[in-house]
């Protein structure tokens, strides 16, 4: 009897556990290590938390109280922000460094623009405006991630819907969704951004792959950035993915110039144990095309040149190491000889020695033997004005304006809105398209200059998205012909395996523009003040000293005013007459 009751209770408890897990949350962590051809190592950490069965909040319900939020693995601080502002999709990246597309290829995380970048898809509503919620969203994220996102105000916010399409689903609300995008190139990333980032993870940085995120090492990388990506997967749930990406340099760390690396040598830590609540915990190493390396310990699985290590709770500490025993020291490849790794290469610069105008130049090189169509997005602060009538396209000094199509331009509004230029560029095979345009640089008020005005103004990166390959004008991403061409081209040229070409964003480096700057320095102010005082004082005194004063005598008798005045006049006249008579 007692045993039967116990069995019943255990059955109910087990049923409850099964139901809870079915309704619950999933957490996966993944570390991808990719040796690059210039001796560096790309490391991408990805922590994905999926809230099953959840859906983004309808902005129409912002008037009512939201449902209570109780999470086990899902980050509560981020979930509250998403519900508070009814955000359907969110992407925030904080990056430092310049991504070298030609030598590092496409990044695992596409958002590699320098500085802070925030874009979100939010449903519209008649209750609150999207811009109000956008302001609240960026302030909340600024507080959560210790970043200066409060500066992503209307002067930096645009809606480039062609370039930043949603990566997840957008539910059907009463009003359609709107995009808000802003960049802050002067933002930097440091330990104070990594600290709250790690606090969002279920295991923090105590166990699992996140233990490798040593701020003293990852912020010594040649490139590093962290990202927060939230998207809605229809009928599956809301997915939050926290990503950290870095390009580290084992050659610089080693004392003999070799490119051997291990988790210990790169991060100064190893994976001590797996995260207990992680459904899957993996370390993946992409194997180079050459065969002169050794990889230890042996991987759990090797599929398509990708070695995978599965971390389990019972497993001991993991320290993946890759060595090249045959190399005495790493020999850097000649950058002018090796071909670029990406489909297109982009360079952008601002020319002109004048303080009032400049010329913006974009050079896009198509490295493929087939034609490529690419979307081009240029966001410029309001203090740089485009002269759109001077837009020219050249290929080898011959003008080809027909290669720029579907031009869309939103002019800037001073102190209010940046300029937004979107276009489709057609790149002929193995050629370089050069786009030039004149811009004007205004005089700013002295209160508008930042504290380090002599450094210049940061300009956001331009974004290019190649989306069509091949001569046909169909918008499909990959046709069979272009795919075969890519495969052949890849096999011929590149020892490193590459993923198939897909539509992905390519960011240009940020630029600095010098506007006319008044001299804010203290010596200048002292000189001006002193000269002003000298001019005022010396001028007044000199004026007094050099002026000649003349006494003017006026004859008048107050006893008889009328007669005297007439007499005065008579005297004058009489005097004159007397003189004449005498002469």
| Angle in degrees, 0-180, between the axes of helices 76-85 and 130-145, rounded to the nearest 10 | 170
Residue placing its CB nearer to other proteins in the complex, 98 or 233:
98
Closest distance between other proteins and the C-beta of residue 523, in Å?
A: 13
Q: Across the beta sheet with 294-296, what order do the strands follow? A: 261-262, 321-323, 294-296
Closest distance between other proteins and the C-beta of residue 515, in Å?
A: 16
Residue placing its CB nearer to other proteins in the complex, 150 or 561:
150
Instruction: Report the C-alpha gap between 50 and 238 in whole angstroms.
Output: 6
Instruction: Report the C-alpha gap between 461 and 458 in whole angstroms.
Output: 9
Q: Which long-range contacts (CB under 8 A, 24 or more apart) does 179-182 make?
A: 179/119, 179/120, 179/121, 180/119, 180/120, 180/122, 180/130, 180/131, 180/134, 181/117, 181/118, 181/119, 181/157, 182/117, 182/118, 182/119, 182/138, 182/152, 182/156, 182/157, 182/158
Closest distance between other proteins and the C-beta of residue 141, in Å?
A: 9
Instruction: Report the C-alpha gap between 461 and 116 in whole angstroms.
Output: 11
223 within 8 A of 96, measured Cβ to Cβ: yes
Q: b or e along 9-30 (b: 16 or more beta carbons within 10 Å of the residue's beta carbon)? A: eeeeeeeeeeeeeeebbbbbbb
Q: Which residue has the tokens 């007397």?
A: 578
Residue 122 half-sphere exposure toward CB, CA atoms < 13 A: 31
391 contact partners, CB below 8 Å, separation of at least 6: 401, 404, 407, 435, 436, 437
100 within 8 A of 40, measured Cβ to Cβ: no
Instruction: Report the C-alpha gap between 140 and 80 in whole angstroms.
Output: 10
Instruction: Report the C-alpha gap between 298 and 71 in whole angstroms.
Output: 37
Closest distance between other proteins and the C-beta of residue 35, in Å?
A: 22
Q: b or e along 403-420 (b: 16 or more beta carbons within 10 Å of the residue's beta carbon)? A: bbeeeeeeebeeeebbbb
Closest distance between other proteins and the C-beta of residue 219, in Å?
A: 4
Q: How buried is residue 7: exposed, middle or buried, by Cβ count under 10 Å (0-12/13-18/19+)?
A: exposed
Instruction: Report the C-alpha gap between 567 and 240 in whole angstroms.
Output: 107
Closest distance between other proteins and the C-beta of residue 98, in Å?
A: 12
Which two structure tokens, joined as six digits, stand for 13? 């408890």
411 within 8 A of 419, measured Cβ to Cβ: yes
Closest distance between other proteins and the C-beta of residue 57, in Å?
A: 18
Closest CA to 25 of 71, 65, 60: 71
Closest distance between other proteins and the C-beta of residue 329, in Å?
A: 24
DSSP character for 45? E
Closest CA to 193 of 107, 96, 125, 99: 96
Residue placing its CB nearer to other proteins in the complex, 140 or 385:
140
Closest CA to 368 of 391, 401, 345, 350: 345
Closest distance between other proteins and the C-beta of residue 222, in Å?
A: 11
Residue placing its CB nearer to other proteins in the complex, 135 or 374:
135
Residue placing its CB nearer to other proteins in the complex, 213 or 439:
213
Closest distance between other proteins and the C-beta of residue 237, in Å?
A: 26
Residue placing its CB nearer to other proteins in the complex, 146 or 444:
146
Residue placing its CB nearer to other proteins in the complex, 520 or 542:
520
Closest distance between other proteins and the C-beta of residue 508, in Å?
A: 20
Residue placing its CB nearer to other proteins in the complex, 196 or 429:
196
What is the C-alpha radius of gyration for the chain, rounded to an integer number of angstroms?
35
Closest distance between other proteins and the C-beta of residue 207, in Å?
A: 15
Closest distance between other proteins and the C-beta of residue 346, in Å?
A: 24
- Using CB under 8 A as the criterion, which residues of the chain lie in contact with other proteins when the complex forms? 1-2, 4-6, 8-9, 96, 135-136, 139-140, 142-144, 146, 148, 150-151, 186-192, 195-196, 205, 214-217, 219-220, 450-452, 520
Residue placing its CB nearer to other proteins in the complex, 148 or 487:
148
265 within 8 A of 279, measured Cβ to Cβ: no
Closest distance between other proteins and the C-beta of residue 252, in Å?
A: 12
Residue placing its CB nearer to other proteins in the complex, 162 or 190:
190
Residue placing its CB nearer to other proteins in the complex, 21 or 525:
525
Residue placing its CB nearer to other proteins in the complex, 5 or 558:
5
Residue placing its CB nearer to other proteins in the complex, 230 or 246:
246
Residue placing its CB nearer to other proteins in the complex, 143 or 497:
143
Helices (H), 369-479: none
């Amino acid at each position: 009897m007692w045993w039967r009751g116990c069995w019943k209770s255990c059955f109910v408890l087990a049923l409850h556990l099964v139901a809870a897990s079915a309704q619950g949350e999933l957490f996966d962590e993944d570390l991808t290590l990719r040796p690059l051809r210039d001796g560096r190592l790309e490391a991408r950490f990805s922590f994905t938390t999926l809230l099953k069965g959840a859906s983004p909040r309808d902005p129409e319900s912002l008037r009512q109280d939201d449902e209570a939020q109780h999470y086990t693995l899902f980050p509560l601080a981020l979930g509250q922000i998403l519900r508070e502002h009814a955000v359907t999709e969110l992407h925030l990246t904080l990056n430092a460094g310049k991504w070298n597309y030609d030598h590092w290829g496409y990044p695992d995380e596409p958002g590699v623009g320098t500085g802070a970048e925030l874009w979100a898809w939010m449903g519209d509503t008649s209750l609150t405006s999207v811009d109000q919620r956008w302001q609240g969203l960026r302030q909340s994220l600024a507080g959560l991630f210790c970043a200066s996102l409060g500066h992503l105000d209307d002067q930096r916010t645009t809606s480039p819907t062609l370039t930043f399409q949603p990566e997840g689903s957008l539910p059907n609300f009463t009003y359609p969704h709107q995009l808000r995008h802003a960049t802050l190139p002067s933002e930097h990333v440091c330990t104070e951004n990594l600290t709250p980032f790690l606090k969002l993870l279920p295991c923090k940085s105590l166990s699992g792959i996140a233990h490798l995120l040593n701020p003293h090492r990852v912020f010594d990388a040649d490139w590093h950035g962290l990202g927060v990506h939230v998207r809605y997967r229809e009928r599956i749930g809301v997915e939050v993915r926290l990503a950290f990406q870095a390009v580290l340099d084992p050659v610089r760390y080693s004392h003999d110039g070799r490119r051997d690396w291990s988790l210990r040598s790169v991060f100064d830590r190893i994976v001590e144990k797996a995260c207990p609540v992680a459904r899957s915990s993996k370390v993946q190493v992409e194997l180079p095309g050459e065969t002169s390396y050794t990889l230890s310990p042996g991987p759990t699985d090797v599929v398509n040149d990708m070695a995978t290590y599965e971390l389990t709770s019972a497993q001991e500490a993991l320290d993946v190491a890759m060595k090249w025993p045959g190399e005495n020291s790493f020999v850097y490849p000649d950058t002018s000889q090796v071909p670029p790794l990406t489909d297109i290469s982009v360079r952008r610069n601002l020319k002109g020695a004048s303080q009032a105008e400049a010329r913006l130049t974009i050079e896009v090189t198509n490295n493929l033997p087939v034609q490529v169509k690419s979307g081009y997005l240029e966001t410029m602060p309001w203090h740089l004005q485009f002269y759109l009538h001077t837009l020219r396209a050249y290929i080898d000094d011959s003008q080809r304006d027909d290669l720029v199509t579907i031009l869309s331009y939103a002019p800037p509004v001073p102190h209010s809105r940046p300029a937004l230029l979107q276009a489709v560029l057609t790149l002929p095979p193995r050629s370089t398209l050069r786009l030039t345009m004149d811009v004007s640089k205004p005089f700013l008020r002295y209160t508008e200059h930042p504290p380090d005005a002599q450094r210049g103004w940061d300009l956001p990166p331009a974004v290019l998205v190649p989306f069509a390959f091949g001569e046909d004008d169909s918008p499909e991403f990959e046709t069979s012909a272009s795919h075969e061409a890519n495969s052949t081209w890849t096999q011929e040229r590149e020892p490193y395996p590459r993923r198939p070409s897909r539509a992905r964003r390519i960011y240009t480096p940020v630029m600095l523009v010098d506007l006319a700057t008044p001299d804010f320095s203290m010596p200048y102010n002292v000189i001006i003040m002193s000269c002003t005082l000298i001019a005022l004082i010396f001028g007044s005194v000199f004026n007094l000293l050099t002026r000649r004063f003349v006494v003017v005598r006026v004859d008048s008798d107050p006893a008889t005013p009328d007669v005297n005045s007439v007499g005065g006049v008579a005297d004058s006249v009489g005097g004159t007459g007397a003189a004449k008579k005498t002469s």
